[in-house]
Structure 1
Amino acid sequence: MEEIKDIAKEILQAILPIAVLVVIFQLILFEEPGLMIAQFLIGVLMVSIGLGLFLLGVKVGLLPLGEIIGSELPQRGSFVLIILFTFFLGIAVTVAEPDVRVLAAQIDIVSAGEVSKNILITFVAIGVAIFMAIAVARLLLGIPISYILVGGYLLVFALSLYVPPHFVPISFDSGGVTTGPMTVPFILALGVGLTSVLGGKSTMSDSFGYVALASIGPVMAVMILGVIYA
């Protein structure tokens, strides 16, 4: 019951200011905004209910699941098995991310089908999966995260010189949408679970940074897709 109250408070703090601001603008800008305000408030109510159910699901199911997988996997598998399992988890969680599907659908429409949404989702998912595997390998091998971040972004900027101009913003947007409400909680929970078993003295510093690394993957993958299309 306490969790439901906390979630309701979070939703209220997130949605109420925006809702009030939009209603005020509608009252100022439109002569007869009654119907529009009613439709907007119905939408706000639906969003609030949906967001509440989602956050409850994240706290009850997704976060505990990620931590359990992260803590159990190192005890039951070899280095290669851990990397492979993380790779396929990265694909699964990215394909399920709503933000990725929205971006892919919009690009499909704008490009008149030239850049298929299925191809884009595939490349984004593979990019996230590869860098999730790299993030776990970094933990297992004790490689500083700064080396991978700097190296990854240097490679991204180098690739941007050879990518068609319209693919550059798409690439960086692809990195942004992977930090959505489905992917981030799971990756963070998985990282905390893994480092609770493998982190040793550096558990605190190694528990985070997975999302930063996972965000490089889709940027790089979509740039490679752009090179292919070029």
Structure 2
Amino acid sequence: MENVKDTFKEVAAAILPVTIVVIILQVALMRLPLEALLQFLVGVVFVSIGFFLFLLGVTAGLLPVGELIGKKLPKTKKSWLIIGTGFLLGLAVTIAEPDVRVLAKQIDQVSAGEISSGILVMAVALGLAIFVAAAMVRTIFSIPIHYMLIGGYVLVFALSMFVPDTFVSISFDAGGVTTGPMAVPFILALGVGVASVLRAPSASSSEGFGLIGLASIGPILAIMLLGVLFQ
């Protein structure tokens, strides 16, 4: 019951400020048609209900299962299985990520179908999956995260010199949308779970953090490589 109350407060804190600002703008400046305002308010109700149920599901299901998988995998003592599971989970949650779908649909519309939403979703999913697997490698072998981050972004900025400007812009948006409500809870919980089991003098469960920031480099590189193919 306490979890339900906390979730309700989170939803209210997220939705109410936006609703209040729009209503103030409506009264003071915009004067939108009454029908549009009513549609907005109905949308707020639906979003609030959906967000509430989603957060309950994340807390009750995604986070515990992700962390449990992360804790069970290292006990197999098979590095390839941990890395492979990270890849498959990264692929699956990105394909299911609603933010990625929204971006892909918008790009499909703007490009008049030249860059199809299906190709974009798969490129983003593969990019993130590869870097989630790389993050598992980092955790297993205690590789300092700044080495991988610096190397990843050096590659990003080097590649950006050979990619059309349109794809550079899309690539950074793709890196942002992968940090959405499906990918973050599951992948972060997986990383923390793996790191908590692989404790060593040089490693702790805190090493599970930073995984999302590292993984988001993958979609940027994937879209840039896609841009090279589209040239």
CA contact (8 A) 1:26 1:33 kept: no
Report how many aligned residue pairs link the two structures.
230
Cα distance in 2 for partners of 1:40, 1:117 equals 27
Match status 1:206 vs 2:207: yes
Query: How does 1:99-178 map onto structure 2 within 5 Å?
Result: 99-178=99-178
Deviation, 1:14, is 1.1
2:6 aligned partner: 6
CA distance in 2, matches of 1:197, 1:214: 21
User: Structure 1 stretch 190-199 or stretch 58-67: which is displaced more?
Assistant: 190-199
Match of 1:194 in 2: 194
Confirm or deny: 8 A CA contact 1:104 1:120 kept in the other structure: yes
Q: Structure 2 length normalisation: TM-score?
A: 0.96
Deviation at 1:5, TM superposition (A): 0.4
Q: C-alpha displacement at 1:141, in angstroms? A: 1.1
One-letter amino acid of the counterpart of residue 83, structure 2: I
CA distance in 2, matches of 1:147, 1:61: 33
Which residue of structure 2 lines up, in the alignment, with residue 215 of structure 1?
216
Distance 1:112 1:197 in 2: 49
Q: Displacement of 1:35 after TM fit?
A: 3.5
1:61 alignment partner in structure 2: 61
Following TM superposition, by how much is the alpha carbon of 1:32 offset from its aligned partner in structure 2, in angstroms? 7.1
- Letter matched to residue 110 of structure 2: V
In structure 2, what is the Cα distance between the partners aligned to 1:121 and 1:78? 30
In the TM superposition, what is the alpha-carbon distance from 1:180 to its structure 2 partner?
0.4
Shift of 1:86: 1.2
The percentage of counterpart residues that share the same residue type is 59
Q: Does the 8 Å contact 2:89/2:187 carry over to 1?
A: no
| Deviation string, structure 1 residues 173-217 (Cα, Å, up to 9, x no partner) | 000000001101111100111011013343143120100111000
Whole-angstrom distance in 2 between the partners of 1:9 and 1:157: 41
Deviations, residues 140-197 of structure 1 (Å, cap 9, x unaligned): 1111000000000000000000001110000000000000011011111001110110
Separation in 2, partners of 1:218, 1:110: 20
The RMSD of aligned alpha carbons is: 1.3
Partner in structure 1 of residue 228 of structure 2: 227
Contact kept in structure 2, 1:195 and 1:206, CA below 8 Å: yes
Q: Which moved more, 1:136-145 or 1:23-32?
A: 23-32
The amino acid that maps onto 1:70 is G
With 192-201 and 60-69 compared, the bigger mean Cα shift is at 192-201
Tell me the distance in 1 between the aligned counterparts of 2:226 and 2:99: 19
Give the direction of change, closer, same or farther, for the CA distance of 1:39–1:126 in structure 2 (3 Å limit).
same
Code of the aligned partner of 2:149: L
Mark the CA change 1:213 to 1:114 in structure 2 (over 3 Å): closer, same or farther: same
Aligned to 1:98: 98
Q: Which moved more, 1:200-209 or 1:164-173?
A: 200-209
- Which one-letter code corresponds to 2:221 in the other structure? M
- Cα distance change on mapping 1:100 and 1:32 into 2, 3 Å: closer
Cα distance change of structure 1 residues 32 and 95 upon mapping to structure 2, 3 Å threshold: closer
Displacement of 1:29: 2.8
Which segments of 5 or more consecutive residues in structure 2 lack a partner in the other structure? Answer: none
What is the distance in 2 between the residues matched to 1:117 and 1:32? 32
The gaps in structure 1 that reach 5 residues or longer are: none
